[in-house]
Amino acid sequence: MAARTLALFDLDDTLLAGDSDYEWGLFLAEIGAIDEAGYKARNDEFMAQYRAGTLDLQAFLAFQLCPLSQFSMAQLDAWHAQFMERKILPIVRPGSRALLDKHRGAVQVMVTATNEFVTAPIAAAFGIPALIATALERADGRFTGRTVGTPSFREGKVVRLKEWLASRGERLEDYAESWFYSDSINDVPLMSLVTHPVAVHPDEPLRAHALERGWPIIRLD
């Protein structure tokens, strides 16, 4: 039996030169779906917390998911198509697709803290077949503004990956090689478990951590 490889990819500030969650909020503000001034100020505050590794996850999720509960799925899907064209495709890092091509023989998974509504079409656009993202509750065909299960953030990414592997009858140890590409100090819990952690355009805390441990540091531009 051939040795198998697992390739995990963070999304925001890794494959993208920006944050899809943040850009989604800006997009909703720009089209007038939400109040721009108030939303942007709060969004910026949460983004600063995230980059500092001090994000209050539950407060952020309550803030970020509220707009999804206010509109129909048909409306949200229509807006998302515009969002992809305006906000996401222009910030795909030039080297992202070459990195994915390097691992085409592997089992590929996008592992992101951003919610599944925002990220599922992005994973599909990259051709990544599996997505582990923060799952959203639905009722009567609409989002409720609440999550389901463990949010895939920090240690939650480890939990969700193990759950995903278990659903396939697998464990991480079943793979001869496992890779995880990320930019953020928040992803150290999962990076520490794989055989090949790689820092991509890392924030300063992750850069220091990677240098101390001899992890590769790469750029995709």
Residues involved in catalysis: 10, 12
Task: Determine contact, residues 160/111, Cβ cutoff 8 Å.
Answer: yes
Task: Determine contact, residues 162/143, Cβ cutoff 8 Å.
Answer: no
Task: Determine contact, residues 166/177, Cβ cutoff 8 Å.
Answer: no
What type of residue sits at position 31? Answer: I
CA 6 to chain centroid, in Å, comes to 17
Beta strands in the chain (DSSP E): 5-9, 107-115, 130-139, 142-148, 177-182, 196-200, 217-218
Q: How far apart are CA 112 and CA 99, in angstroms?
A: 17
| Token pair in block for residue 192 | 């520490």
